[in-house]
Amino acid sequence: MSGKRAPARIGVMGGTFDPIHYGHLAAAQEACVALGLSRVLFVPAGEPVHKPPRQVTAALQRWEMVLLATADHPLFFPSRVELDRPGPSYTVDTITLLRSQHPQAEWFFITGADALLEIRTWKEPHRLAQLCTIVAVTRPGYDSRLLEQHVDPTLLERILTLKVPGVAVSASEIRARLHQGLPARYLTPDVVLGYISKHGLYR
């Protein structure tokens, strides 16, 4: 019997996390179970490429909300890899750096299926697909044909579709509700809502 250990399977969930919410957490949990991940790294974008800087909450505050939201899960680990690196946050650069730190691991990049409809605009998407398995998170009822219509067939071969529980919530919806003075409880963890209230975010 071989004494070699199987390589670690590590998930990476990147995003602006402005704020992090139950949709992110449910997707990460489902990925852990379905893919046998040993851990999931939550990587807040330092400088989100596709969003104007003035429209994004400060990186430190987004990082602190991720810390709070993931603290009670044994397989969820926040990572500062994009916050500590200057310049725009490109997924392919992040995965390249993480792979250099853990070259024996098998890597999975977890993102929403809708985000992948724009993958042709990403930096070096084909190289990204060689570095990791891309996991397209979908909710029940999602039309998977959208990916086939918008994504290059050679990229589709490296994209794994994962259906997660129907947590129909988005960060933009939470921000809009809070801006209007509406409650956002049960959309994001209470500790995150407490942080938002304490720091006066999204008013």
Half-sphere exposure of residue 60: CA atoms within 13 angstroms, side-chain side = 1
pLDDT attached to residue 90: 93
Q: What is the CATH number of the domain that holds 66?
A: 3.40.50.620
pLDDT attached to residue 31: 96
Residue 52 lies in a domain: yes
Residue 1 lies in a domain: no
3-state SS assignment for residue 113: helix
Residue 60 lies in a domain: yes
Q: How far is CA 23 from CA 29, 172, 198, in A?
A: 10, 12, 23
CA distance 128 to 107: 11
DSSP codes, 11-74: EEEEE--TT--HHHHHHHHHHHHHHT-SEEEEEE-SSBTTS-GGGS--HHHHHHHHHHHHTT-T
Residue 119 lies in a domain: yes
- pTM for the whole structure: 0.92
pLDDT attached to residue 1: 45
CA distance 183 to 199: 16
Q: Output phi, psi for 136, to 5 deg.
A: -95, 110
Grouped pLDDT means (10 residues each) for the chain, 203 residues:
75 96 95 97 89 81 98 97 90 96 96 91 95 91 87 92 83 95 96 98 94
For the chain, the domain total comes to 1
pLDDT attached to residue 52: 65
Residue 114 lies in a domain: yes
Residue 202 lies in a domain: no
Domain range for 115:
9-196
Residue 4 lies in a domain: no
Residue 15 lies in a domain: yes
